[in-house]
Structure 1
Amino acid sequence: MPHIRCFGVALSLLLSAPVAAASPPAAELFAKHSEISDIALSPDGTRVAMAVPVAEGTETQLQIIPLDEGGGALALRFGKQQHVTDVYWTTNERLVVSRAEMEPLHAEPYSRGELIATNADGSDQELLFGYIGDFFMKSGRRKDNGFSALTGLILDDPGMALVTFRCWNCGEEPDTVLFRVDTRTGVRKEVERFRGDTIFGADRSGTARIAVSRDANDNPLMRYRPTADAAWQPLPRTMAGYSLSPLRFSDQPDVMFALVSDKGEPERLYRLDLAAGTRTLLAGRADMEIARVLYEGSRGAPFGVFFDAGKPAIEYIDKASPWAALHAGLMQSFPGELVMPFDFSDDDSKLIFFTYSGSHPGAYYLLDRTAGKIRLIAELKPWIEPAKMAPVRPIEFNSRDGRTLYGFLTAAGDGPRPMVVMPHGGPHGPYDRWRFNPEAQFLASRGYAVLQVNYRGSGGRGQQFIEAGYREWGGRIQDDIADGVRWAVDQQLADPSRVCIYGASFGGYAALMNSIRYPDAYQCAIGHVGVYDLQMMFKEGDIAARRAGRTYLERVLGTDEAALVENSPARQVDRIKVPVLLAQGRIDRRVPMEQFDALATAFRKSGRPAETLVVPGEGHGFYKPENQAKLLETMADFLDRHIGGRSAGPTAATAP
């Protein structure tokens, strides 16, 4: 189906916008956390709930804000130095949140598996799922030693929700249990149980109709109920293909929408009739997965889909839909930005939408469809001035073996300039997108071009593309990154004599491994919380602590000891010819200090010690803004000494 024309115009406007001449912004501005991390609109559209970190970042509170401008905000706390995320209104007065921890590399909270319900005025707080220990003679009410997640609201029964739960101490492959929960009283009822990690899809009555799990070889296992009262049975391949991701049910009880892939290619959007055993293609592309489905309000059918693993694009399913027209109008109202509907009131008269771009961190707005008015609710980072940020240009090139690869170039102007290559973490599943990246923008403000490549193994391109990176950590993944450098040089976007490579997690591994594989391409390398010894991954860190994690490592790395040594930077220090900076959090559990020590010790023994930055109290990435700013400043100093950046000037970027 054709993509909307107004998007291409809007994107061109942004990519051709000039960057104002000014002193580069301070590192602290790029290190600060967003002012909100989650938002939800009450069913009646009168209030919003926002997860808001306090200034020092040690706690995330839930703020309830009336939209009639007649009352003040109410801040709810769920414990000293506690964080919350995944905010849901289950009625006009009742909310459910997840108690959370902070994810440093993304600077945002993520659920730790505990659910808390509260009234909007802060009263009647109830631990729905979690663990409360015994105290003297009093027995704790909840003994949920595991991970829970609210997976859906039961639309036909306000206040009721579906929650999945997996036990942490029930063996290597615990069951996934689906509960029907009254969020007002805390009363729960088990309704389904399947072995292993399972995703359920439920109809509007709350009846589970789809169950997707994995077999021992990590292949999808899919079961379904053709009708609400039918027994579970295998879902035919004619409907499910190789894999299926359930989305939502329509107003017809046996009709659902789902993302389906037949052979591991990018998933496409289908309408499935479970009773008839048929499916109808609605939208999709052969080269890119659907990143988001756009719906006609709180209960309606999809009206469009969004792709973002390369140049962003929107495909409308029915361009005559009034919701498609509404969305196209919002896109025109925010030129150069993407607009994503986010949440709706029950009657769809009000909706929250999110706008963002490569130079704008994003903002939430409220649209009153009845009054025809738009109101700003909150900017994520109001101190960032998009006009002073660098454009982010989507790029496309071919790898040496003919594979089409996508990526992004952030630079304040055209012409050859010193470049920092920034491979993303993962590597399998995550991917870079057209959005504000504080590290890339910081480096661009210092005069550098920043190259991001969605190498094979990245997400957003389907399971086949992910698996193409298996056992290629030190091989074809590194070739893809190097081919991106070659493309940037050939396009005269990078000065080949001034290129450095920097990454975090797997990106830290790639920074060192690419400088080993391509010693003439780089003048320096920076690794942050990186993996440097592949054999050590099987022994140290939280991945190796679980059988599923060890099986995953065997699948993606292999067990050939010679290959693991050959592709481990800590075992190949004599082949690293460029200056190196290593940064590490001392309490990192994902990539522990042993990885850092292995590489740093090898450098010292070689007589060429690496520069280092080790920060106590930080884990897999630096979370505290002052520590993140210190990292940025340390990187800028290192880069300036080796490839010589300068402050960005008032030049214009060329649209792709």
Structure 2
Amino acid sequence: MQPIRSIAVGDTKLRDLQWVGDEYLLLTYSQTEELPFGYVGDKMEFYRVMIVPMDVNEDVETIFLNKRGIANAVFGNYGIRKVKGKWVGYFSGILFKQNGSGTYKFDHGRPALLAVDIKRNEPEIASYPASEGAYRDWIVGPEGEIAAQFDFYKRNGDWRITGPEGKTIAKGQKPDARIALLCLGTEGQSVIYRENSDEDEENHYFKVYLSSGEAKEILTGKNVTAISCNETNGLMDGYFREAGLPVFIAKKDQLAAQKIWGSMASGKTSMISWSNDVKKVIVRRSGSGISGSWYMVDLASNKLVPLGSERPAIKADQIGEIRKIDYIARDGLEMSGILTLPPQRETKNLPLVVFPHGGPHSHDEPVFDWWAQAFASRGYAVFQPNFRGSTDQDMSFRRAGYGEWGRKMQTDITDGVAELAKQGLIDPARACIMGASYGGYAALTGVTIQQDQYRCAISYSGVSDLQLMYRTGYIEESGRSKLTQQRLLEELGPRDNLVEYSPDKQADRANAPILLIHGMDDTVVPFAHSKRMADALKDAGKPYKLVELEGEDHWLSRSSTRNRMLKEALSFVQKYNPAD
């Protein structure tokens, strides 16, 4: 394959690629930027979309850049449509208010929907922003029309969905705003939306007809994780489940998916992208012996064409074996974790790195994890526990984590270590713990609130102060929203206990060296968490190291700082918990 065009992107962070026919490529990127004085936060991650023509004689453009009256950022992507022979992209953006002198000023941050002529990069207003105190979302129909609009009113929790003529087709009251407009139904005559139930806290999917407003629940008992919506017409074309292959509405597309799954012998298979007729599909595989391989499946010719490897320098025999470990917590709750073993080493009494995930509402799977594999390559077993509160089981398992920060969520981790020791796989006296975000909190908790479990701890952008987390979420970000307060206390536990379960407030109890690493552009967990932890450890005379990563965000988006983080973490563990 030969490159069609190359462009310079500088220090931007690339996030997504999207084709517009065969003529254009939309490149989504983000940058962390300082906010002007007077805003609640200091920094914010702004997203922008670049239009890259395949015709090298056409200029590369950026949507909303240098457009008077529109902020230079994209706040949502509502799909691409072909309208009267022209490609039009639908994006939400912030409109400025024009005053009497003809100049523009910021009025509010509620986005409008704009239709952008891709060839000319000219936006037009397709739908205006919500009123004050409200939130608005849209579905764009196959011909570029506003097929449905969702409005949520924060003051009382009322919501409604209106059709193309402004007729209300569904409404209700949901103070916690757990409603989401998804796409049109498969026939284009209905709207699909998702509601999170108060009773079971599960996601329920509904179809409501545009003509009659008749609604019915769909996909019950299917363990649906996401609806697949066609990018070029806005119609539902399938859905994804917790496990197994995706489900397509069209039988021919489903047969294609089954054929692809059947051709992949091992590892986790993911369908990344496909042509409109689902005859050509881009597939990614990852797992034991597979560091991330990409293929183009040509179903018309029955060919599997390798596209490349994410990490070609890593050979199959250098990749550690990945296992799922089932175990039972001390209170009888069943759970599991992922164990990555060091390659070419006897699996007996291994040194261990415990690596709890972030979220905490997420989970780890038996796939290639670059962080885990880096430590495995140095001789360590790496354990990624899916403690209570993780999303690999049902909602009751997730709810079991509510109010258990530093409590049962933490002992679930050590119970997993005990199971590994029972099986003779690891030496529990030779363990360190590391993690990012919530995982960083768990790492800090493991050597402060917990005692004598680990030889060292590493936190990347970890939460250290639950009081600060509560104040930031409830007071600064939500403006004292009662709903936000309720959800934070549900997650963290009673306010009276926040000090007791904050690692920075328990720094004098630290009984192992701690490495703190934090991105200075982190807009999710502020750097203040690592700084407070470092100051508390210093005051208590405890061993620690603080590493500040300039220009790095919460997600380790830059290769240079990602490499530095990994080198710092490896060096720290090898110093305090040598593999040999």
TM-score normalised by length of structure 1: 0.71
SS in 2 for 1:581: strand
The runs of 5 or more residues in structure 2 that have no matched partner are: 34-43, 97-104
Q: Taking structure 1 as reference, are residues 518 and 381 closer, same or farther at Cα in structure 2, changes over 3 Å only?
A: same
Query: How far off its partner does 1:631 sit?
Result: 3.4
Deviations 1:331-364 (A, max 9, x none): 2322113333333334444333333335534233
Matches of 2:3 and 2:231 in 1, distance apart? Answer: 31
Q: Taking structure 1 as reference, are residues 95 and 193 closer, same or farther at Cα in structure 2, changes over 3 Å only?
A: same
Q: Taking structure 1 as reference, are residues 543 and 383 closer, same or farther at Cα in structure 2, changes over 3 Å only?
A: farther
User: What does 1:640-651 correspond to in 2, within 5 Å?
Assistant: 640-646=574-580
Q: 1:391 aligns with which of 318, 321, 324?
A: 321
Matches of 1:128 and 1:615 in 2, distance apart? Answer: 30
Residue matched to 1:177: 112
Deviations 1:302-332 (A, max 9, x none): 456332xxxx4347578x9343332232223
Query: How far off its partner does 1:513 sit?
Result: 1.1
Query: How far off its partner does 1:563 sit?
Result: 2.0
Deviations 1:215-249 (A, max 9, x none): 64997x65324x54351343469xxx995544443
Query: How far off its partner does 1:93 sit?
Result: 1.6
Residue matched to 2:70: 143
Query: How far off its partner does 1:548 sit?
Result: 5.9
Matches of 2:385 and 2:156 in 1, distance apart? Answer: 27
Deviations 1:107-158 (A, max 9, x none): xxx972323334222414333324x3xxxxxxx6453255432221236665
Matches of 2:314 and 2:204 in 1, distance apart? Answer: 36
Q: Taking structure 1 as reference, are residues 389 and 543 closer, same or farther at Cα in structure 2, changes over 3 Å only?
A: farther
One-letter code of the match for 1:148?
A: F
User: What does 1:286-305 correspond to in 2, within 5 Å?
Assistant: 290=225, 293=228, 302=237, 305=240
Q: Taking structure 1 as reference, are residues 562 and 251 closer, same or farther at Cα in structure 2, changes over 3 Å only?
A: closer
Matches of 1:603 and 1:249 in 2, distance apart? Answer: 54
TM-score normalised by length of structure 2: 0.79
Residue matched to 1:116: 50
User: What does 1:392-471 correspond to in 2, within 5 Å?
Assistant: 392-412=322-342, 414-427=347-360, 429-459=361-391, 469-471=401-403
Q: Taking structure 1 as reference, are residues 590 and 268 closer, same or farther at Cα in structure 2, changes over 3 Å only?
A: closer
Matches of 2:397 and 2:156 in 1, distance apart? Answer: 16
Contact 2:256 2:278 in 1 (8 A): no
1:610 and 2:544 matched: yes
One-letter code of the match for 2:528?
A: E
Give RMSD over aligned pairs. Answer: 4.1
% identical equivalent positions: 24
Query: How far off its partner does 1:442 sit?
Result: 1.0
One-letter code of the match for 1:201?
A: I
Q: 1:253 aligns with which of 163, 166, 188?
A: 188
SS in 2 for 1:487: helix
Query: How far off its partner does 1:280 sit?
Result: 5.5
Query: How far off its partner does 1:571 sit?
Result: 1.2
Q: Taking structure 1 as reference, are residues 266 and 398 closer, same or farther at Cα in structure 2, changes over 3 Å only?
A: farther
Query: How far off its partner does 1:164 sit?
Result: 2.0
Deviations 1:374-409 (A, max 9, x none): 323343222232342113223444444454434322
Q: Taking structure 1 as reference, are residues 616 and 348 closer, same or farther at Cα in structure 2, changes over 3 Å only?
A: closer
Query: How far off its partner does 1:75 sit?
Result: 0.8
Q: Taking structure 1 as reference, are residues 426 and 487 closer, same or farther at Cα in structure 2, changes over 3 Å only?
A: same
Q: 2:497 aligns with which of 563, 574, 597?
A: 563
Contact 2:434 2:440 in 1 (8 A): yes
The runs of 5 or more residues in structure 1 that have no matched partner are: 1-68, 104-109, 133-139, 647-656
Q: 2:63 aligns with which of 128, 153, 158?
A: 128
Residue matched to 1:162: 90
SS in 2 for 1:329: helix
Matches of 2:75 and 2:340 in 1, distance apart? Answer: 39
1:639 and 2:573 matched: yes
Residue matched to 2:530: 596
Query: How far off its partner does 1:252 sit?
Result: 1.8
Matches of 2:515 and 2:406 in 1, distance apart? Answer: 20
Q: 1:362 aligns with which of 292, 305, 325?
A: 292
SS in 2 for 1:632: helix
Higher RCO structure (Cα 8 Å, ≥6 apart): 1
Matches of 1:567 and 1:350 in 2, distance apart? Answer: 52
Contact 1:498 1:643 in 2 (8 A): yes
Matches of 2:5 and 2:287 in 1, distance apart? Answer: 31
Matches of 2:568 and 2:231 in 1, distance apart? Answer: 48
SS in 2 for 1:352: strand
Contact 1:264 1:462 in 2 (8 A): no
1:510 and 2:442 matched: yes
User: What does 1:7-46 correspond to in 2, within 5 Å?
Assistant: none
Contact 1:349 1:369 in 2 (8 A): yes
Query: How far off its partner does 1:177 sit?
Result: 2.0
1:234 and 2:167 matched: no
Q: Taking structure 1 as reference, are residues 207 and 432 closer, same or farther at Cα in structure 2, changes over 3 Å only?
A: farther
Matches of 1:431 and 1:627 in 2, distance apart? Answer: 25
Q: Taking structure 1 as reference, are residues 616 and 183 closer, same or farther at Cα in structure 2, changes over 3 Å only?
A: closer
Matches of 2:409 and 2:150 in 1, distance apart? Answer: 30
**Relative to structure 2, which stretch is displaced further, 297-306 or 411-420?**
297-306
Residue matched to 1:204: 142
Matches of 1:394 and 1:297 in 2, distance apart? Answer: 39
